[in-house]
Amino acid sequence: MRTDDLIEALVQDRAAVAGKPRGALSVALVGGALIAAILFLTVLGYRPDIAAAAETYRFLFKFVFTLTLAATTIWLIFTIVRPEAVPGLRLLALAAAPVLIILAVVAELSVMPSSTWLPRLIGKNWWFCLTVIPSLAIVPLAAFLMALRRAAPADPGLAGALAGLASGAIAATLYASHCTDDSPLFVLTWYSLAIGIVTIVGYFAGRRWLAW
Amino acid sequence: MLMRAATAGDETAYRDFLKAVTPAIRGLARRNLARYGLSAGDAEDVVQDTLLAIHLKRQTWDSDRPIGPWISAIARNKFIDQMRRRGHRIQVRIEDMAEILAAEEQPAGLDGHDITRMLENLNEKQRNVVRALAVEGASVRQTAERLNMTEGAIRVTLHRAVKALSAIYRESDK
């Protein structure tokens, strides 16, 4: 096909321009989180003693961690929709949540006797945590990926991984209100692992479906 | 800015815009290929792949921003794809130096390298529509009459064909 013919074909193709990627991402964010929240409330629900728990630092810190992770990741996703946008130093924002959790773990280790460390790390429901967080992340991840297909990220794998990280963080925020393991040691180990699984899935999904 | 008029649905402006940016994309592609010691014969593949991406991803251009960096980023991305494909090919025929040199001496060819194969990969309906509209320059109405389809169906078929052409470039990556 001659290039001039291709141009003619493109000019004739007056299919409606796809919506702006940022608009689609906003819809995906709100819609995905809402569906995950409804799913969470109907199947699991928050823990019965949530009012008492809400007065403890450890319980509240879980949300500080997951919401920080969600906010920084979602912000990054919105910045990489254009092909010429290179995240560069902005990726450093991703360090915020890990820094917080490490500080919390240091605090936990300094106030709790060492004999309690291992039971607190293993917790009661680690297997449940590893199953529920990735399951709740499925809908938000699918929504983010569909929205990102309209975008043109320079690095599809990175875009997919960020979508996975954000979905994992949203799912973890929901799960945190159900989970009775509040120690930062538990959060560092199992929440990170669960969110990491979703991130890896996102990476491969991104390479597969976000390449353009 | 032409692209702004073009996204607003002005056909002539869009054609002018695509024709205006093509030589720059071609120059960039040739320079990049030369830098890696590759045949300039593949430049047209990069050009066509870039034009397809500009078209299919035009919603990612933010009209408040300059368009130059947006186009260069797309062209660069498509050049890298091409490099990956060439990587495979070079391994297959490393001894075909004569062929590569011959390709370099060709005049500024306007054909994409894998063109025959590209059109073959469209289904018959898509191929007929693309040929009539783009190669023969028929109007949508004439094409609709000739192929016994509605104008709406012609437009849908053309859009699918454009997406299919872009997918062909992507799939040969693997």
pLDDT tens, position by position, B125-169? 888 888 888 878 888 888 888 888 888 888 888 888 888 888 877
Interchain CB distance below 8 Å, B70 and A83 = yes
Option in B69, B134, B137 nearest A84 (CB)? B69
Is residue B72 domain-shared with residue B99, that is, in the same domain? yes
Question: Looking at residue B145, which CATH number applies to its domain?
Answer: 1.10.10.10
pLDDT band at B87 (very low <50, low <70, confident <90, very high): low
Tokens 């391994």 appear where?
B91
Is there a single domain that holds both residue B42 and residue B118? no
The predicted pLDDT at position B6 comes to 63
CA distance A210 to B74: 14
Asked whether the predicted pLDDT for residue B89 surpasses 80, the reply is no
Q: Give percent above pLDDT 70 in chain B.
A: 74
Question: Rounded CA gap, B90 and B37, in Å?
Answer: 12
Q: Residue B110 and residue A154: Cβ atoms within 8 Å?
A: no
Domains of chain B: total = 2
What is the rounded average pLDDT of the residues A79-108? 92
CB contacts of B14 in chain A (<8 Å) are 10-11
Instruction: Give the residue on A whose Cα is nearest the Cα of B129.
Output: A9
| Domain assignment of residue B71, given as a range | 1-107
Confidence of residue B108 (pLDDT cuts 50, 70, 90): very low
Q: Residue A61: what pLDDT?
A: 95
Determine which of B57, B63, B65, B158 to mutate to test the interface with A (most A C-beta atoms within 10 Å). Answer: B57
Mean pLDDT over the full length of chain B? 76
Burial (CB < 10 A; 0-12, 13-18, 19+), residue B121, is: middle
What's B69's domain CATH number?
1.10.1740.10
Q: Which of B75, B107, B139 is the last residue of a domain?
A: B107
Residue B136 has a pLDDT of 81
Whether B125 and B90 share a structural domain: no
Domain identity same for B94 and B119? no
Cα angle B158, B161, B163; round to 5: 115
ipTM: 0.82
Mean pLDDT of chain A: 92
Q: What is the dihedral of CA A9, A10, A11, A17, to 10 degrees?
A: 140
User: Which DSSP string corresponds to A81-106?
Assistant: SSTT---GGGGGGGGHHHHHHHHHHH
Q: Is there a single domain that holds both residue B95 and residue B23?
A: yes
Of B70, B88, B107, which closes a domain? B107
Domain termination site, one of B107, B136, B158: B107
Q: What is the pLDDT of residues A18-47, one digit of tens each?
A: 778 999 999 999 999 999 999 999 999 888
